Amino acid sequence: MYQKYFYHHLIDFGGLERHLALTDLEDTEQKQLLLIIHKTLFLEIVRFTLDKLPPEQHVEFLHYLETKPEDKGIWVFLKRSIENIEDQIQQIEVK
């Protein structure tokens, strides 16, 4: 249903879905809210990653993201430049 990205293993989307299922929201409202959450997280993680990467690596990262969004090679690329990137992504707070 949702596009998977390189960071999906770091986020408990199932827990989010279970939590939403306990609400009084209609199924369509739950799906819309989940879509908003997915899109917001995507934008925050991309923004965060670009802020941490040297500018000369932005194009390469965005190319990976566009052509192979689930590829584990993205982690290899990111770990070369950003220390503890996985831990840092898990700590992101959506503003």
User: Could you give the dihedral angle defined by the CA atoms of residues 15, 52, 50 and 37, in that order, rounded to the nearest 10 degrees?
Assistant: 20
Position 82 pLDDT exceeds 70: yes
Which pLDDT belongs to residue 72? 87
**Confidence band (pLDDT; 50, 70, 90) for 19?**
confident
Q: Which H or E run includes 89?
A: helix 85-90
